[in-house]
Amino acid sequence: MDPLFFLAYAVLGIVAGFAAGLLGIGGGMLLVPFMTALLTAQGIPMDLVVHAAIATSMASIIFTSMSSVRAHHMRRAVRWDLVASFAPGIVIGGLVSGGAVFAALKTGWLALVFSLFVGYSALQMLRNRKPKPSRQMPGRLGTGAVGSVIGFVSGLVGAGGGFISVPFMTWCNVALHQAVGTSAALGFPIAIANTVGYIWSGMQASDLPPGMLGYVYWPALLVLVFFSMLFAPLGAKLAHSLPVATLKKVFAALLFMLAFYMLNKAATAFQWFT
């Protein structure tokens, strides 16, 4: 790998790892737009670049989530009962998304889906509507059903699911710091299920560029994993010192910027302005 790209992926891994620990988002939503730009600069074909960015970002979450959740667990911020309820649905939704639907979607549609869901998540965080005091998490079956949606949508956008799970849990009166910690733990089954799907579906494609394992670009993955795992605990530490309102604003601002970039990428892919 060119030293300049190595440095770029290292910086991206540091920022993504820190964000993963701070916001419980797995880092995928931050990685995908920047990886799309970097992979394009490296000459990855346009019809493959968003697929590779999403799959590689998701694969990195396997390792980032382990580092992040350890830090949150030490501060008793992970609701393991909720993780157990979400996980079965997450695995099913992720396998369906990463193994079947993902490969069938074109670059423009993937970028558009990403931008719309991220923008919606940002709006939800900024609305700051307080849930009814009596509202609670649904039962195990209902939580599992929500998990299948999280796993499926996460597979389409290459994120750890925090952009859905954090707003949903806070809407059900789970404290924000616990929602962030629990979301970090959910990133692991989401990433495992979808990465297996990405690799399997990508191996069915022909003429993949060198360095691709299915849709996963492994040279970038190695750099991202090393640096993101180093900095995820620092983000988790800061998450427990910042006030809730500040966390929500940081989360929303980040999501709006990423949504705008990927909407522009979708417009380019669809050639709306040409």
**Virtual torsion, Cα 168, 173, 176, 180, nearest 10 deg:** -40
User: Do the domain assignments include residue 203?
Assistant: yes
Q: For residues 58 and 7, what is the distance between their CA atoms, to the nearest angstrom?
A: 20
User: Do the domain assignments include residue 272?
Assistant: no
Q: What are the residue ranges in the chain where pLDDT is below 50?
A: 272-274
Helix axes 162-171, 107-127, angle to 10 degrees: 30
Q: For residues 2 and 132, what is the distance between their CA atoms, to the nearest angstrom?
A: 53
The structure tokens listed for 30 are: 């931050």
Domain count of the fold of the chain: 1
User: Do the domain assignments include residue 86?
Assistant: yes
* Residue 215: closest CA among 12, 39, 7, 69: 39
Range of the domain at 166: 3-266
Contact 231, 12 (CB under 8 A): no
200-221 exposure pattern, b = at least 16 Cβ within 10 A, e = fewer: bbbeeeeebeeebbbbbbebbb
Q: Where does residue 272 rank: exposed (0-12), middle (13-18), buried (19+ CB within 10 A)?
A: exposed
Q: What is the pLDDT of residue 271?
A: 62
Q: What is the pLDDT of residue 29?
A: 67
User: Do the domain assignments include residue 274?
Assistant: no
Q: For residues 272 and 274, what is the distance between their CA atoms, to the nearest angstrom?
A: 6
Q: What is the pLDDT of residue 273?
A: 44
User: Do the domain assignments include residue 271?
Assistant: no
Q: What is the pLDDT of residues 70-122, one digit of tens each?
A: 877 887 888 999 999 998 998 888 888 776 677 677 767 777 877 787 777 67
Q: What single letter denotes the amino acid at residue 246?
A: T
Contact 155, 102 (CB under 8 A): yes
Residue with tokens 């389409």: 156
- H/E run at residue 6: helix 3-23
Dihedrals phi, psi of 217, to nearest 5 degrees: -90, 95
User: Do the domain assignments include residue 125?
Assistant: yes
Q: What is the pLDDT of residue 274?
A: 45
**Virtual torsion, Cα 77, 121, 135, 190, nearest 10 deg:** -50
- Beta-bridge partner residues of 213: 216
User: Do the domain assignments include residue 17?
Assistant: yes
Q: How far is CA 210 from CA 44, 174, 216, in A?
A: 10, 45, 11
User: Do the domain assignments include residue 273?
Assistant: no
